[in-house]
Amino acid sequence: MNRTNLAIPGRLNLVIAAVQLVALCSILWAAGQVHQWGLVFLLALAYGIVMNSGYAMLHEAEHNLLHSNPIVNQSVGAVLALFFPAPFHLIRQGHIGHHIRNRSDDEAFDLYFEDENRFWKYVQLYGTLTGMFWVLIYFTNFVVLFRPTIITPRYTRFNRPTEAFLESLNPNYRRIIQLEALAVILMHAGMIYFWRIPILHYFVVMFGFGFIWSAMQYAHHYGTVRDVQKGAMNLKTLGVLDRVWLNHNWHLNHHMSPTVPWVYLPTLSEPNETRGSLVKAYLCEWRGPQFSDEHVENRYAGKVIK
């Protein structure tokens, strides 16, 4: 297969994105109509499933693979990111940075080194496993809008991965990130007000996505080889869920070929490849960070994301 000449399924992606947006709005509207907590938790699960599909699509936009027209690609990605909710150009830089820092000392959440605080590494990993990583991103909307000076490397010397992330941020995106954060706050405040969503219902439904998304963030990398591309795993859930999540669990294939659109990722493997379980991979992470004296340099340290 010629991996450099695979067509972006732009029309298909736009149809899927439209369905995702309608479903997400419907779930949030319904959160203001129900009164039984059992239904609220069902809506939280539904939002978690649908928005993880939405995240997979905005992930395509992060790699310029949602649509061949750059304006359409960025615009649809930015709209989907509103339901994360997060500034698209901020999480895009974080994700592209992930591809260049993966499994280096600057991004090895499953390991701690002699010069690192072991307790803090446990906080980071277990926070990710319990949804707190998403909570942090959620409140970042307010930080980038009202106190952007806090988001600088000098405040994060104690946290190597965060310091590396902040050092990679491109200052040219600062203004658009603030505008996107403002859009997030206004849109969600508007939905809560006009759709009469009880504030607790709102946060429970949103956390339905936040927990699932955060819990999956390092499952594909925990314990893998210390290589920027090969340090990932192809995992699986239910067949229908893998499809709804747009083959996102073919994660090793994505890291090996990040310019390949989602529809082709399964074809990059041998037909008889055995994939591990996403749930089992998640449970393995609860063993916590392990000590390592093997150091892997981030070859792109200090470079900003374009």
pLDDT tens for each residue of 241-259:
999 999 999 999 999 999 9
Query: Does 304 map to a domain?
Result: no
Query: Does 95 map to a domain?
Result: yes
Pick from 218, 95, 101: which is nearest to 160 by CA? 101
Query: Does 297 map to a domain?
Result: no
pLDDT in the model for residue 3: 59
Q: What is the pLDDT of residues 115-140, one digit of tens each?
A: 888 999 999 999 999 999 999 999 99
* pLDDT (average), residues 45-61: 98
Query: Does 106 map to a domain?
Result: yes
Query: Does 301 map to a domain?
Result: no
> How many domains does the chain divide into?
1
Pick from 98, 160, 95, 91: which is nearest to 300 by CA? 98
What span, in angstroms and rounded, lies between the C-alpha atoms of 193 and 124? 34
Query: Does 4 map to a domain?
Result: no
293 pLDDT exceeds 80? yes
Query: Does 38 map to a domain?
Result: yes
What span, in angstroms and rounded, lies between the C-alpha atoms of 237 and 128? 19
The DSSP bridge partners found for residue 235 are 276
288 pLDDT exceeds 80? yes
The answer to whether residues 65 and 257 touch, using CB atoms and an 8 Å cutoff, is: no
Query: Does 73 map to a domain?
Result: yes
The answer to whether residues 258 and 300 touch, using CB atoms and an 8 Å cutoff, is: no
List for the chain the helix, strand, coil content (%; round to 5): 60, 5, 35
User: Would you tell me how many other CB atoms lie within 10 Å of the CB of residue 5?
Assistant: 6
1 pLDDT exceeds 60? no
Q: Which two tokens stand for residue 43?
A: 């809506």
Domain holding 189, by residue range, is 10-291
